[in-house]
Amino acid sequence: MSKIYGIDLGTTNSCISVLKDGKPYTIPVDGNGIVPSVVSLDGSNLLVGRKAWNRAAAFPEQSIRSVKRLMGTTEKLKLGNKDYDPEDISAMILRYLCDEALRIEGHEVEKVVITVPAYFSDAQRRATMEAGKRAGLTVERIINEPTAAALFYDHVLASDGEPESKNSAEALPKEASQYALVYDLGGGTFDVSVLHMGEIIEVLASTGDTHLGGDDFDKRIVRHLLHEIKEKEKVDLEDYVPALARLNAVAERAKISLSEKASVRVEETRIPTPKGKSCTVSMEFSREEFEAMTEDFVDRTVASVEKAMEEAKLSPDKIGKVLLVGGMTRMPAIAARLEQIFGGARMPVVDPDLSVSNGASIQGGIISGENCEQILVDVTPHTLSLESLTYDYEQLECSPIIPRNTQIPVTRARTFATVSHHQRIAELKVYQGESRFPADNTLIGETYLELAPAEAHCPILVEYSYDLTGIVHLVAEQKGYSRKTEIRIDSRNPQLFSSQGLQEIEDGADDEDEEAEEQAIAINFVTQRARNLISKMQDGEKKNALAEALARYEKALVDDDSLVDEIEDELLALIEEEALEEE
Ligand code: ADP
Ligand code: MG
């Protein structure tokens, strides 16, 4: 079996690793293996990586960087006189990594594991898969970056013993050694995950911010430089792209220096201006000043850390290790801030730049059977829900089917019910997001189920599956009437589930008033129906029986999936009985 390579396709930098004699090894593409995720066109010559990065400062309009921020969108990117999808640009970076790996190592790269931020949506994961395909690669798996980092850490631990640590864990309770927090601050994204590290690595919670990273820290320095230039040189460069590109590069250098030094002097004499002349800027920044001007960003990451801890139902003293990932974590203020929160937790020194791709190569090894010691458990990054009517039929809401942070692969089914007699169709809208309100979430796919004529409250079983690459499958079934529909959701091409069929059915329907038609396409969550009935029922045996069945049903949904079907049948029978009586 050919080797499966691990690729960290980062916003700012990408890396490619592979297992050599069971150990992860980063292929030294562009010298040290840290390859800028930049492409640039020089005449007809396409440059990728370090060379493209060098050129991008002088020719930003012929270069593309941070394409990862656009993954999952349909935005077009111009390079020369051609338009590209974000997937095409990512494919160029992947192709470059693989071509260079072949040149350096002498082996063709065919199969890969690619990492994405844990917070990436389904559309963003799909786009990443597509980029791999367009690069001519077989993408064996998409995994979360923090999970990959933890896999690498686990490997280091298994082969070399405990790595050096910044502080001691002596004060921690014993169980804490089982829990780790991965804090990943890169160039464009922030991710935080809480992991249980036992015989298997289990992701208990992951959250983050897809629009927070080192680029934002750079922009704060740029803002000061622009202000200074405006004051001293009387020229406003705020919208002048060539100047901004230069200033961004200058700011990033200053920021990196401040990780080592207490202060830095910025001297730049070749800043282009729109009038063709260049201007100068000279400024001193202290580490303290830089920390003060970026404190709100660090605060935002800390808020996410707290949210992840809350989701994992753990307090900081339960965390044994804090893993720092991403180039930005070299900023001393970040480790200092985390030390304040996690007190005695260890911060083992694992390479913040290479741990993700190295971890991905370990996952590659696990898949190809090279290294089977670690099993990875991943989670869904967002809640997947179905739009349904609220119990009072007043409005539409999202009823969760697979909650956020459920281990994947996962299949979950829930029963809904039709709301009207001889309802012709059930409209099925799949949403991703944490809100109760459809308008605040993202619609990632929709279809409908054509129904056989039946009484109102006829059960409709809706099943979602979420696979290891983060792709969603939906199966809906009208129970007892063998009517079924199935879709594979491509959230980036919603027209695939065009509502044409739906339109035809509606057009062909008998004249119904608007309200009836609206009801005819909606369904309603079983638990909500039960709750609604209970609220209207007189106290007595029947009400108690229904309430008791509902309580058992809700408990089973959380605790024991194997009991759900049976209790659900019981609950539906009680609902049906009561609803008939009501009519
Ligand atoms: P990504 O995962 O988004 O590709 P990386 O993990 O490679 O990003 O991190 C890139 C970011 O880290 C950039 O913003 C870069 O400026 C920053 N960075 C790299 N080295 C340092 C350093 N020594 N101090 C502070 N920031 C750094
Ligand atoms: Mg990264």
Residue of 425, 378, 432 lying closest to 402 (CA atoms): 432
Question: Atom 6 of ligand 1 has which residue's CA nearest to it?
Answer: 326
Architecture of domain 384-507: Sandwich (2.60)
Q: Is 13 in the pocket of ligand 1 (CB under 6 A)?
A: yes
CB of 294 closer than 6 angstroms to any ligand 1 atom: no
The arrangement of secondary structure in 1-161+354-369, i.e. its CATH architecture, is 2-Layer Sandwich (3.30)
Residue from 37, 294, 328 to probe ligand 1 pocket by mutation (most atoms less than 8 Å from CB): 328
Distance CA 227, CA 242 (A): 17
How would you write the pLDDT of the chain (583 residues) with one tens digit per residue?
689 999 999 999 999 999 998 889 999 999 999 999 999 999 989 999 999 999 987 888 899 999 998 999 999 999 988 999 999 999 999 999 999 999 999 999 999 999 998 778 888 999 999 999 999 999 999 988 888 998 888 777 766 665 555 554 445 565 667 899 999 999 988 989 998 877 667 778 888 887 899 999 999 999 999 999 999 999 999 999 889 988 998 999 999 999 999 999 999 998 999 988 899 999 999 999 999 999 999 999 999 999 999 999 999 988 988 999 999 999 999 999 999 999 756 777 778 999 999 999 999 998 887 754 554 556 677 889 999 887 777 788 899 999 887 777 788 888 888 888 888 888 899 998 888 899 998 888 888 898 988 888 888 989 998 876 667 889 999 888 888 888 887 544 433 333 333 333 333 334 444 444 443 456 667 777 787 788 888 888 989 999 898 888 877 766 666 777 788 888 888 887 887 776 6
Query: What phi and psi, each to the nearest 5 degrees, are found at residue 511?
Result: -65, 120
Q: For residues 145 and 354, what is the distance between their CA atoms, to the nearest angstrom?
A: 11
CA distance 412 to 223: 49
**Start and end residues for every CATH 3.30.420.40 domain found in the chain:** 1-161+354-369
Q: State if pTM tops 0.85.
A: no
Ligand 2 centroid – CA 69 distance (Å): 12
Nearest to 380 by CA among 464, 491, 322: 464
Output the CA 13–ligand 2 centroid distance in Å: 7
**Does any ligand 1 atom lie closer than 6 A to the CB of residue 93?**
no
Closest atom of ligand 1 to 189 CA is 3
Residue 285 CB contacts under 8 Å (≥ 6 apart), including other chains? 221, 224, 254, 258, 263, 264, 266
Contacts for 101 with CB less than 8 Å, ≥ 6 apart: 5, 16, 18, 27, 29, 107, 109
CB 549 within 8 A of CB 572: no
- Cα 361 to middle of ligand 2, angstroms: 15
Say yes or no: CB of residue 426 within 6 Å of ligand 1.
no
Q: How far is the CA of 165 from the centre of ligand 1 (A)?
A: 21
CA torsion sign, 47 to 48 to 50 to 52? positive
Is the CB of 256 within 6 Å of ligand 1?
Answer: yes
Query: Is 11 touching ligand 1 by the criterion CB < 6 Å?
Result: yes
421's tokens? 């007699």
Architecture of domain 214-295: Alpha-Beta Complex (3.90)
Span from the CA of 10 to the centroid of ligand 2 (angstroms): 5
Q: Are 222 and 251 in contact (CB under 8 A)?
A: yes
Q: What are the backbone dihedrals phi and psi of residue 415, each rounded to the nearest 5 degrees, phi first? A: -100, 130
Question: Where are the domain boundaries for CATH 3.90.640.10 in the chain?
Answer: 214-295
Distance 324 CA to ligand 1 centre (A): 12
